[in-house]
């Protein structure tokens, strides 16, 4: 009994010692409970306060993560979660994504007219961001699986927010089916790794040494099964089939969040996982796994960019655009020997503003101007030049053209891949570089479709388009960093490097 009591006391002490590193997650969980509780009341005043409470929560977590100081060096949570500079910076991005999603939701007519489930909607946004934070901090396979499932369950329900719309129900059901299958495959692969190593902590050197002693075929098979779950979460080929339907059926603010948050968290999980491959002692030991990731990156780039050429609706076009950006991020993760982590975080930061800015414009087009297909944009650039010009900026930045930050993001990725190729001589990296550059040119052809209709086609109606001041300010807010970070990328790059230096 005394030994059990002593063990229990030690466990409690360890939990309390590491609990400080979970302050942002504890805030999200607390506000989630508050939102769900307040939603039980029928008071219209309380209902109107719910989105502002969600905003308060996201701003609180943002401030906490920017200021830091809520965890001491060397402290982890039970060897399951690591609150290092990488997790802190991505936590900032997730908080920003949550803030932007709430702001877009406040401008969305269908969400504002929701009579039931208003508190659930904003509560699930908090829960999804909580899961994203846990994904970025996870250093244990079981914890990665649980964090991904938290994100997935919240995502399934958010997709079904507009239950009365047929396409939302269809998208939600497909998402659940694909997600459940990928989760099962991923868990099966994790069980193989645990059986081969006797450990779930993939940051330990002993974990990878144990894999070196196992059958290479078994290790490669298990790794492919695990990456199937990771690639599903970032909508990378060949696990991207859910994206077009979900983007078509979910509310626009939710789609904007899906195109950024889960993708960024999935990339961080993969980044932590493949970091071991950069170890010189393991060089060449897992070439089959790296080959699989390289082929997945090539396939994702090709499928995303080439399929986007044939899309006729803005939502589906952006779905395959999101797939292509997953390919660029995967490509960046294979640039071992270069400072690729900084480039990946810079790219994700820029992607956050590009995507939310364009999705806000698409939401305006749907709600105010009844735009459903690309042809419906005819002449709208002249009817509302302010919004049209900013939409053009977002699209050019997504393409990767100057003078916008999207150009700097892709330039950093390409530079890192070229540096890694010169150091290693791997032909796969050269293939990724060439294909990436060529498909960037292809991307211009489908991104330019919207500006083509906006400014080069006539609109016969004489109706004037009115945009609210709040929407104008939001569009400007998303566009400003894209201009600033092109001319002064060091402002963000130096801050990222300082945060990454804060490792445990």
480-500 tens-digit pLDDT: 999 999 999 999 999 999 888
Q: Which two tokens stand for residue 72?
A: 């001491």
Give the pLDDT score at 280.
65
Within a 10 A sphere around the Cβ of 13, how many other Cβ atoms?
A: 10
**Residue 255 confidence (pLDDT) above 70:** yes
Q: Which helix (H) or strand (E) holds 82?
A: none
Comparing 69-78, 192-201, 208-217, which segment has the lowest mean pLDDT?
69-78
Looking at the structure, tell me whether residues 326 and 200 fall in a common domain.
no
Residues paired with residue 138 on neighbouring β-strands, in sequence order:
81
Looking at the fold, whether 308 and 193 belong to one and the same domain comes out as no
Neighbour count for residue 102 (Cβ, 10 Å): 25
pLDDT, position 17: 58
238 preceded by cis ω (within 30°)?
A: yes
Calpha distance 15→80 (Å, rounded): 11
pLDDT at position 485, please? 93
Residue 454 lies in a domain: yes
Of the candidates 358, 346, 363, 345, the one whose C-alpha atom is nearest the C-alpha of residue 391 is 358
Residue 219 · residue 194 · CB < 8 Å: no
- Checking if the pLDDT of 9 tops 80, the result is no
Q: CB atoms < 10 A from the CB of 218, how many?
A: 14
Q: How far apart are CA 334 and CA 296, in angstroms?
A: 11
| Confidence (pLDDT) at 28 | 94
Q: What's the gap between Cα 280 and its chain centre?
A: 30
What does the pLDDT read at residue 11? 58
> For residue 220, is it left (φ>0), alpha (ψ between -120 and 50) or beta?
alpha
Condensed to tens digits (0 to 9), the pLDDT of residues 311-357 reads: 999 999 999 999 999 999 999 999 887 788 999 999 999 999 999 99
What share of the chain has pLDDT > 70, as a percent?
Answer: 91
* 18-46 tens-digit pLDDT: 666 788 899 999 999 999 888 888 888 88
C-alpha–C-alpha distance, residues 128 and 124, integer Å: 6
CB count, 10 Å around CB of 379?
A: 16
User: Span 239-249, mean pLDDT?
Assistant: 89
Q: In the predicted model, what is the mean pLDDT of residues 455-479?
A: 81
Q: Give yes or no: residues 227 and 297 share one domain.
A: no
Is the pLDDT at 1 greater than 80? The verdict is no
**Maximum average pLDDT range among 11-15, 202-206, 434-438, 458-462:** 434-438
In a domain, 245, yes or no: yes
CA atoms within 13 A on the CB side of 292: 17
Model confidence at 504, in pLDDT bands (50, 70, 90)?
very low
Please check whether residues 244 and 363 belong to one and the same domain.
no
Does the pLDDT value for residue 252 go beyond 60?
yes
Half-sphere exposure of 381 (CA within 13 A, CB side): 19
**CA proximity to 262, closest of 344, 352, 187, 182:** 352
Whether residues 53 and 108 fall in one domain: yes
Pick the closest to residue 351 from 318, 390, 388, 397 (CA basis): 397
Structure tokens at 88: 């802190």
Tell me which of 215, 250, 273 is where a domain ends. Answer: 273
pLDDT band at 122, cuts 50/70/90? very high
DSSP β-bridge partners for residue 81: 77, 138
Most confident among 75-79, 88-92, 167-171, 500-504 (mean pLDDT): 88-92
What mean pLDDT is predicted for residues 220-224?
91
Nearest to 305 by CA among 444, 451, 450: 444
Residue 130 lies in a domain: yes
Could you say which DSSP state residue 74 is in?
T
> What CA–CA distance (Å, rounded) separates 295 from 361?
34
The reported pLDDT for the residue numbered 145 is 94
Same-domain check for residues 329 and 234: no
pLDDT score recorded for residue 74 = 47
- Tell me which H or E stretch contains 25: helix 23-38
Give the global pTM: 0.93
Cα–Cα distance for residue pair 413/328, rounded to 1 Å: 8
- Domain hosting residue 67, numbered range: 20-273
**pLDDT tens per residue, range 160-206:** 888 878 888 888 888 998 899 999 999 999 999 999 888 888 888 88
204 and 341 housed in the same domain: no
CA distances, 330 to each of 109, 217, 299, 457, 468 (Å): 36, 23, 11, 37, 38
15 domain-assigned:
no
- Which among 7-16, 142-151, 463-472 has the top mean pLDDT? 142-151
Give the separation between CA 272 and CA 207, rounded to whole angstroms: 14
Averaged pLDDT, 382-387: 86
Residues 217, 339 share a domain: no
Based on the fold, state whether residues 370 and 441 are members of the same structural domain: yes
* Joined tokens for residue 381: 């650039």
Give the rounded percent of residues in the chain with a pLDDT score beyond 90.
52
Q: Does residue 293 sit in the same domain as residue 359?
A: yes
Note the pLDDT of residue 257: 94
Mean pLDDT of the chain: 87
CA 42/CA 271 separation, integer angstroms: 45
User: Residue 40: its pLDDT value, please?
Assistant: 84
**∠ CA 94-96-101 to the nearest 5 degrees?**
95
**Burial letters 304-343, b for 16+ CB under 10 A, else e:** bbebbeebebbbbbbbbbbbbbbbbbbbbbbbbebebbbb
Q: Which of residues 273, 307, 325 is at a domain's end? A: 273
Residue 11 in any domain: the answer is no
Asked, for residue 2, whether it belongs to a domain, the answer is no
Closest residue by Cα to residue 315 from 378, 361, 277: 361
φ/ψ of residue 116, rounded to 5: -130, 150
Four-point Cα dihedral 89, 258, 477, 70, nearest 10: -30
Where does a domain end: 244, 273, 302? 273
Counting the structural domains of the chain, the total is 2
Which residues make Cβ contacts (< 8 Å) with residue 215, sequence separation at least 6? Answer: none
Structure tokens belonging to residue 502 = 């804060």
Whole-number CA gyration radius for the chain: 23
Does residue 416 fall inside a structural domain?
yes
Looking at the structure, tell me whether residues 253 and 290 fall in a common domain.
no
Over range 281-302, report the average pLDDT: 85
DSSP type of residue 140: B
User: 299 and 441 in one domain?
Assistant: yes
| Number of residues in the chain | 504
**Cβ–Cβ < 8 Å for 206, 276:** no
Considering the domain boundaries, does residue 114 fall inside one?
A: yes
């Amino acid at each position: 009994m005394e030994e059990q009591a002593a063990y229990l006391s030690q466990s409690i002490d360890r939990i309390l010692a590491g609990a400080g590193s979970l302050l942002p997650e504890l805030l999200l969980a607390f506000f989630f409970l508050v939102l769900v509780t307040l939603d039980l009341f029928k008071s219209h005043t309380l209902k109107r306060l719910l989105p502002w409470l969600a905003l308060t929560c996201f701003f609180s977590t943002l401030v906490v993560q920017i200021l830091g100081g809520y965890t001491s060096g060397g402290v982890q949570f039970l060897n399951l979660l690591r609150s290092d500079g990488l997790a802190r910076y991505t936590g900032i991005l997730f908080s920003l994504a949550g803030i932007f999603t709430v702001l877009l939701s406040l401008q969305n007519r269908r969400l504002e007219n929701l009579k039931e489930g208003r508190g659930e909607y904003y509560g699930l946004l908090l829960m999804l961001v909580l899961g994203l934070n846990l994904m970025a901090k996870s250093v244990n396979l079981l914890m990665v699986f649980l964090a991904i499932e938290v994100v997935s369950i919240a995502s399934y329900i958010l997709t079904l927010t507009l239950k009365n719309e047929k396409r939302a129900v269809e998208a939600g059901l497909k998402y659940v089916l694909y997600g459940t299958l990928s989760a099962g495959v991923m868990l099966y692969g994790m069980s193989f790794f645990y059986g081969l190593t006797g450990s779930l902590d993939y940051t330990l050197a002993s974990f990878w040494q144990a894999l070196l002693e196992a059958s290479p075929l078994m290790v490669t098979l298990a790794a492919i099964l695990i990456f199937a779950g990771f690639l599903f979460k970032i909508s990378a080929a060949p696990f991207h089939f859910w994206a077009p339907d979900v983007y078509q059926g979910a509310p626009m603010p939710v789609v904007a969040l899906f195109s950024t948050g889960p993708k960024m968290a999935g990339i961080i999980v993969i980044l932590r996982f493949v970091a071991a491959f950069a170890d010189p002692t393991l060089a060449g030991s897992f070439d089959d796994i790296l080959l699989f990731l390289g082929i997945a990156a090539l396939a994702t780039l090709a499928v995303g960019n080439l399929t986007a050429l044939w899309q006729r609706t803005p939502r589906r076009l952006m779905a395959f655009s999101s797939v292509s950006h997953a390919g660029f991020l995967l490509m960046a993760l294979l640039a071992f020997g270069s400072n690729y982590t900084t480039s990946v975080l810079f790219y994700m930061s820029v992607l956050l503003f590009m995507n939310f800015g364009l999705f806000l414009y698409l939401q305006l087009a749907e709600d105010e101007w009844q735009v459903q297909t690309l042809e419906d944009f005819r002449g709208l650039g002249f009817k509302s030049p302010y919004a049209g010009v900013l939409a053009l900026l977002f699209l050019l930045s997504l393409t990767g053209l100057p003078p916008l930050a999207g150009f700097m993001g892709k330039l950093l990725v390409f530079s890192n891949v070229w540096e890694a190729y010169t150091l290693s001589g791997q032909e796969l990296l050269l293939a990724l570089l060439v294909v990436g550059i060529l498909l960037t040119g292809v991307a211009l052809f489908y991104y330019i479709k919207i500006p083509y209709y906006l400014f080069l086609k006539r609109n016969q109606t004489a109706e004037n388009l009115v945009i609210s001041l709040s929407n104008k300010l939001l569009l400007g807010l998303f566009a400003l960093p894209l201009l600033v970070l092109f001319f002064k990328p060091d402002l963000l790059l130096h801050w990222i490097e300082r945060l990454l230096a804060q490792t445990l």
